[in-house]
Chains A and B, each alone.
Chain A
């Protein structure tokens, strides 16, 4: 089953194993400069609010009702990352506009037996962007659909789906029992420090499309770890999937009557205040990047290419404090 609890998607598979579950939440963050430099990982600034599409049936586009799922508000060119939690191994496939964020392939149900197109939790604590090289991702940055920025539009030429698509499959129960139940080791949960503050100045977008998709932003150092199990070890008969619609903040307010979160700080302001950036350390092997995804133009490059000047708030920053988070790093939970 898939539930929404405190703005997290909770996937659980009681029919597979009583411990089989994993959780995904969507972290607000700063947009890293899109300037051909590689950055460490930006912080989590709290969870995005997540709403059931069905709770606003009269106010959301008809297409959303067909898709089901949930929606979250984002400002234009705001970034986000996915925070994975879980101790029972799960394979999680993530697509933006039905373009797989790890392989660059178009959406299909099930896991690919060829090039790995999913992340494995635990092990992969976060996913911040499109997988472009062995140790690099391009940040997920929200852009209005229809203006040619999103990965979907760059690859398919269409602005049809937008949003995020997620499916999770648990490890087969017999594999879990064989490998884990005899000698279950508690994995220290790796959580990126959540720095809690927000810019008091609320901004609202007036972009053309209320619906958003994810476009490739600046580059940061992040590994996508190789599957230590095998494709046959995942229970693909028992997956759950979710369509996460992305809507601009002004439309979110008109749909729900609630104020969206304030726009997050800029990377420049954040760094100027001496606040920390992050790196993840693990001995696990990382997979290579996707050629398709590495060929995409970033938002910054496209703004210049379209003759629209330069991306605002895009000056380079020099992160002074970079915290390395490894498997034994203490947990710090943020209050939301």
Chain B
């Protein structure tokens, strides 16, 4: 499924229960022309900027990283992390490529200790 198709499907699903998810209203809330959002959904134009994709994710209750990936983009904060230590993170990501989700989740699931 393309980025545009996915956006349309999610928006239409929400619109069934709430008219505020019409093309016109969603476009207005994320700050683009309705015709442009229609073109994005039809795949007539390339996916929009990271900022607009983040606004769409927020609007439609979707994960911004997932939508960015569908649009062939990587979040700018992740790019910044990699740019700071390119070799380390490039190696790390390649190492993790074949690991199951469960193992990857474990890396990120430390219980944080705070101040008490």
Task: List A residues at the B interface (Cβ < 8 Å).
Answer: 1-5, 9, 52-54, 65-70, 98, 161, 165, 240-243
Contacts and interface: CB of A to CB of B under 8 A. Distances in A.
B115 A69 contact: no
Contacts of A165: 116
Contacts of A67: 114-116
Given A161-B116, A165-B116, A243-B116, A68 B111 contact: yes
Interface residues of B, number: 9
A66 B115 CA distance: 6
A2 to B, nearest CB: 5
28 contacts: A2-B110, A2-B111, A3-B106, A3-B109, A4-B109, A5-B106, A9-B111, A52-B111, A53-B112, A54-B112, A65-B114, A66-B116, A67-B114, A67-B115, A67-B116, A68-B112, A68-B114, A68-B115, A69-B111, A69-B113, A69-B114, A98-B116, A161-B116, A241-B113, A242-B111, A243-B113, A243-B114, A243-B116
User: Is the contact region of chain B dominated by helix, strand, or loop, or is it mixed?
Assistant: loop
Nearest to A53: B112
Nearest to B111: A2
Given A2-B111, A67-B115, 9 more contacts: A2-B110, A52-B109, A53-B112, A65-B114, A68-B113, A69-B111, A98-B116, A240-B113, A242-B111
B113 A2 contact: yes
Instruction: Name the 5 nearest CB pairs between A and B, nearest first.
Output: A68-B114, A68-B112, A2-B111, A67-B116, A67-B114
Interface in B63-116: 106, 109-116
A64 to B, nearest CB: 9
B104 to A, nearest CB: 13
Which of A68, A161, A240 lies at the interface centre, i.e. has the most chain B CB atoms within 10 A of its CB?
A: A68
A240 to B, nearest CB: 7
Interface of B: 106, 109-116
Contacts of A241: 113
A5 B114 CA distance: 20
Contacts of A54: 112
Given A3-B106, A5-B106, A70 B111 contact: yes
Contacts of A9: 111
B111 A4 contact: yes
A1 to B, nearest CB: 6
Which of B111, B112, B115, B116 lies at the interface centre, i.e. has the most chain A CB atoms within 10 A of its CB?
A: B111
B62 to A, nearest CB: 17
B16 to A, nearest CB: 22
B36 to A, nearest CB: 32
A243 B114 CA distance: 8
Contacts of A98: 116
A16 to B, nearest CB: 17
A9 B112 CA distance: 12
Contacts of B113: 2, 68-69, 240-243
A241 B116 CA distance: 10
Nearest to A63: B116
A306 B1 CA distance: 65
A11 to B, nearest CB: 9
Which of B109, B113, B116 lies at the interface centre, i.e. has the most chain A CB atoms within 10 A of its CB?
A: B116
A1 B112 CA distance: 10
A168 to B, nearest CB: 12
B111 A3 contact: yes
A53 B114 CA distance: 11
Contacts of A69: 111-114
A165 B113 CA distance: 11
A29 to B, nearest CB: 23
A270 B115 CA distance: 41
Contacts of A70: 111
A4 B113 CA distance: 12
Nearest to A52: B111
A69 B111 CA distance: 6
A8 to B, nearest CB: 11
